[in-house]
Structure 1
Amino acid sequence: MIGIVRMASDLNNPFNLDDPKDRARAYRDLTWGDHGFLRARFANHHDIGGGMSRENQPSPKRIAQLAKDGIKTIINLRGESPKGFYWLEKQACRDHGITLINYRMFSRDTHTVEAIKGARDLFNAIEYPAMMHCKSGADRTGMMGVLYRHFKMGDPIEVAVEQLSLKYLHVRQGKTGMLDFFFNDYLNYAKDKDISFIDWVETVYDPAEVKARFLEQWSGNPITELVLRRE
């Protein structure tokens, strides 16, 4: 499809979802191992604009509703997984005619130039309406929300960064603040230079160097690192 984008087909399924016992095991993983019980009544759903929405990890029931709402594409920002939540999602998308795309992002790390440019290409290639999700719909989805608003909707970065805010449950005081630091690094650099975000990414941005500077000034926060346990 697109460079580093992979369709949902690479791993061997460890679950026989036609077997009631295996299906129950997959649901236990979704509900308890992946904290799906916390998402049962709260999808953290938000409309980003232009036919894109964002939310947390959807259950098969939620995917059925998304299909009724007209969703054509789901972007899974967690990537492929041997866990039950992933295989239930994959089957539900197939059953309801939704294209599932795995595009792995990170909540506590910098991203490669290729991943950022690949996100831009992805947004131009998928069928809409679309929804993208991570586990909580807060951090990785926020990162991609900024990129979507900038690349697809034309928002300047200083406006698009609203996608990374407490409104979406994003907490910048933990290591998840690396995402904010990345965009702020561009904004600080561009204050006295006429340079676009993508030009900065391609010619100035050094993922390892940005990460090192973030960790130098980061003092640690038990809220996100111990309590929320961000992926």
Structure 2
Amino acid sequence: MSKKRPHDLSSLSGRIRTWLHFYLKDHHLLRMAWWNLAEISPGVWRSNQPSPWRLRRMRARGVTTVVSLRGGVPQSYNVLEEKACADLGLGFERLTGVMARELVPAANMLAIVDGLAAIEGAKLFHCKSGADRTGLIATLYLILVDGVDVAEAACTQLRPGWVHLPRTRAGVLDHIFRVYLRDAAPAGQGFRDWLETVYDPAEVQADFDDWRAGAGRWAV
């Protein structure tokens, strides 16, 4: 006999396991009242993991496509979100390749932002908490698509108000922009060009470690 998938919605027991996992293991109980939601640009929304009920609310606000940054594993959040989008007539895409506490190659980030920009109509993108991965993509979107100033975009989209904490390991995401503003912006190099030709994840990580320790180029 084949083993049943833990998040199979075709049976009552599977639906119960899926919803229990979503509310308890994936911490949706915390997200019931805390949405971490904002429209960062006309028709472009950032959020934490939405429930099917909230997706219905977002459709009423004009959203036509939902983008998850959480990967494609068959966990409760993906199973429920994919079904809810299908039921509501919403597009559902996964543009993955960024991490909350680790830097990735520029190509990963650019592919997500370019993919997001190519989606027609109003869209909602999210990770689990809407703090780190979502904050990074929101910042990049404003800079690369809307032409917002780098410092302004990073300051508004990667901040404690989104539950993004700059001095934790996730703060390395902020440091991408900090290093650019220190090393490349004064010389007039554009952000995308710097990201494609200069940015090095290992170097930025090492510089971030120095920044947190007040060492290296950040020594007082």
| TM-score, reference length from structure 2 | 0.88
Name 2:164's counterpart in structure 1: 170
Higher relative contact order (CA 8 A, sep 6+): 1
* Count of aligned residue pairs for this structure pair: 207
Shift of 1:113: 1.4
* Structure 2 residue 175 is matched with structure 1 residue 181: yes
Q: In the aligned structure 2, how far is the partner of 1:86 from the partner of 1:115?
A: 21
2:38 maps to 1:46:
yes
- 1:86 equivalent to 2:78? Answer yes
- Residue 33 of structure 1 is matched in structure 2 by 25
Q: Which runs of 5+ in 2 are unaligned?
A: 214-220
Let me know the Cα RMSD of the aligned residues: 1.6
Letter in 1 for 2:190: S
Name the amino acid aligned to 1:170.
H
TM superposition shift of 1:92: 0.6
Q: Percent identity?
A: 35
The whole-number CA distance in structure 2 between the counterparts of 1:167 and 1:38 is 16
Is the 2:132–2:170 contact (alpha carbons within 8 Å) kept by the matching residues of 1?
yes
**How is 1:6-155 mapped onto 2 (pairs within 5 angstroms)?**
15-104=7-96, 105-155=98-148
For 2:61, the aligned partner's letter is D
- Work out whether residues 125 and 134 of structure 2, in 8 Å CA contact, stay in contact via their aligned partners in 1: yes
Task: Write out per-residue CA displacement over residues 84-121 of structure 1, whole angstroms, 9 at most, x where no aligned residue.
Answer: 11111111111111111112221111121111221332
Moved more, 121-130 or 141-150: 121-130
Structure 1 spans left out of the alignment, 5+ residues: 1-12, 220-231
Deviation at 1:82, TM superposition (A): 2.5
Q: Tell me if structure 1 keeps the 8 A contact 2:107–2:196.
A: no
**What is the SS of the residue equivalent to 1:48?**
strand
Counterpart of 2:216 in structure 1 is: none
Could you say which structure has the higher helix fraction? Answer: 2
Deviation at 1:216, TM superposition (A): 4.5
Cα distance in 1, alignment partners of residues 185 and 149 from structure 2:
13
Quote the Cα distance in structure 1 between the aligned partners of 2:153 and 2:135: 10
Report which of the two structures shows the higher radius of gyration computed on alpha carbons. 2
Task: Write out per-residue CA displacement over residues 118-170 of structure 1, whole angstroms, 9 at most, x where no aligned residue.
Answer: 13321331022101111111111110110111122110211111210122121
In the TM superposition, residue 217 of structure 1 has moved relative to its aligned partner by 4.4
Cα displacement string for residues 35-61 of structure 1 (whole angstroms, at most 9, x for unaligned residues): 110011121111101210111111111
TM-score scaled by structure 1?
0.84
Give a deviation string over 1:12-45, Cα, whole Å, max 9, x none: x753313121011111111000111001112111
1:4 corresponding residue in structure 2: none
